[in-house]
Amino acid sequence: MLDCAIIGGGPAGMTAGLYATRGGLKNVVMFELGMPGGQITQSSEIENYPGFFEHGKTGMDFMNTWQEQTFHFGLKHEMKKVERVAKSGEHFVVTLEGGESIEAMSVIVATGSTPKRANFKGEDEFFGKGVSTCATCDGFFYKNKPVTILGGGDTALEEALYLSNICSDVYVVHRRDAFRAAPPTLERVMKKTNIHLITDSIIEEAYGGMMGLDGVKIKNIKTGEITDMPNTGLFVFVGHDVNNSVLKDADGTFICAVNDWGQVIVDLSMKTNVEGLFAAGDIRIEAPKQVVCAASDGATAALQVIAYIQERS
């Protein structure tokens, strides 16, 4: 029986593993379907993690430094996808792809979330090289420069407000003429003189070269007119998929409380409403979707797990 099964090897999962093993737990396994590192490994540069300020270092370089430290204290890593977590009496059963089952006293779910793609030409090619899904992460790279946003929901408009304080102009491209975002947010956006709403329009293409994105072509879907927007960063905010499938029972119901968007409801100690089950990082409610916050969640969850195991031994 594992003391703790950690699901996901991004910043939250790796930090949970570091704290759990360094804090004395002997039998902790981190299940990660690929190489550890998480979404940040897709980033071409990270400059908002305190203590790491090296220009030209990618998210992959950044996460490589985490691995040696994380595994030093005895965390075991299994490169396996978890299919499901179920509670069975006092403990948990973690089912892996292929059907193998492992029992654990406690579980930290840190499977993150995945920003949705809009599927326009050049989106994948320039993702992390001018096409971004994170204004907090990448907005500063466009200080006093124009940026384009795709989307018409709360995230798109809230991030437009955030970027309008950093960038010279923010062009919000939305496929309809009515916005899904809350009316008060839209009102605030409309008061900003440097935010420009481009409705009934889509991104036809993101283009560039070896150095990254050079600009975007915007298509009005009513008139067919194409507008070239050179020298712009592009932020895509068309929703998120929360990676919560491991928390679903065979009948599709969740084993713990989640909100309307499938984010796991936790308290300030990352406890879910199921004893012994914790959630950390981008998967949880109100997640700021930042590496430093995911790492903090992982540490918090692991400290709670140590106390939970001690109470039961």
For ligand FAD, the binding residues (CB under 6 A) are 7-13, 31-34, 38-40, 42-43, 46, 48, 81-82, 110-112, 128, 133-134, 137, 243, 246, 281-282, 289-292, 294
Beta bridge partners of 220: 201
Q: Judged by CB, which is closer to ligand NAP: 60, or 238?
A: 238
State how far the Cα of 233 lies from the Cα of 44, in Å rounded to an integer.
14
Nearest approach, Cβ of residue 214 and ligand FAD (Å): 19
Out of ligand NAP, ligand FAD, none, what residue 201 binds, judged by CB under 5 to 8 A for its kind, is none
CA distance 284 to 286: 6
Q: Which of 138, 167, 282, 293 is catalytic?
A: 138
State the binding partner of 24 from ligand NAP, ligand FAD, none, CB within 5 to 8 A by kind.
none
Is 138 considered catalytic here? yes
Residue with CB nearest ligand NAP?
A: 153
CA gyration radius, the chain: 21
- Which of ligand NAP, ligand FAD, none sits in contact with 112, Cβ below 5 to 8 A by type? ligand FAD
Q: Does 218 bind ligand NAP (CB under 6 A)?
A: no
Q: Are 46 and 59 in contact (CB under 8 A)?
A: yes
Catalytic member of 137, 167, 256, 293:
137
- What is the nearest approach in angstroms of ligand NAP to the Cβ of residue 215? 18
Report the site for ligand NAP in 171-200 (rule: CB under 6 A): 175-176, 180
Contact 19, 303 (CB under 8 A): yes
Question: With binding defined as CB under 6 A, does residue 154 bind ligand NAP?
Answer: yes
Identity at 197, one-letter amino acid code = L
Burial class (CB in 10 A: 0-12, 13-18, 19+), 166: middle
Query: Is 270:300 a contact under the CB 8 Å cutoff?
Result: yes
Decide which of ligand FAD, ligand NAP, none touches 269; Cβ closer than 5 to 8 Å per partner kind.
none
**Smallest distance, ligand FAD to C-beta of residue 142, A:** 13
Instruction: Tell me which of ligand FAD, ligand NAP, none is bound by residue 46, counting a contact when its beta carbon lies within the kind-specific cut-off of 5 to 8 angstroms.
Output: ligand FAD
**Distance set, CA 134 to CA 90, 110, 167, 240 (Å):** 39, 19, 14, 12
Closest CB to ligand NAP among 8 and 115? 115
What value, to the nearest 5°, has the Cα angle with vertex 56 and ends 55 and 58?
115
Question: DSSP H helical segments within 170-290, as ranges?
Answer: 183-191
74 or 262, CB closer to ligand NAP? 262
Write the burial class of residue 283 (CB in 10 Å: 0-12 exposed, 13-18 middle, 19+ buried).
Answer: buried
The yes-or-no answer on residue 256 being catalytic is no
Separation between Cα atoms, residue 157 and residue 151, nearest integer Å: 8
- Min CB(151)–ligand NAP separation in Å: 4
Binding to ligand NAP (CB under 6 A) within 243-302 occurs at 261
Query: Residue 203's closest CA among 176, 223, 177, 175?
Result: 175
Structure tokens at 191: 């008061």
| Catalytic residue, candidates 134, 167, 256, 293 | 134
137 binds, among ligand NAP, ligand FAD, none (CB under 5 to 8 A by kind): ligand FAD
Active site residues: 134, 137-138
